[in-house]
Amino acid sequence: MIKIGKKAPDFTAPAYFDNKFGQVKLSDYIGKWVVLCFYPGDFTFV
């Protein structure tokens, strides 16, 4: 279970970045600030 103040589990997700589709992996950003933004139930781009 995910808990506030604990390390987020690693995951891979589809993404649109730099005018192309690809995959992002949370572990690629270890040691950097990351903001996770999602909108459950909506299939439009943010």
pLDDT score for 35: 85
What single string gives the DSSP state of each residue in 20-34? EEEEEEGGGGTTS--
Beta strands 12-17 and 20-25: pairing type? Answer: antiparallel
pLDDT in tens, 1-46: 778 888 889 999 888 888 999 999 999 999 999 887 766 666 666 5
pLDDT score for 18: 87
Q: Does pTM surpass 0.75?
A: no
pLDDT score for 26: 93
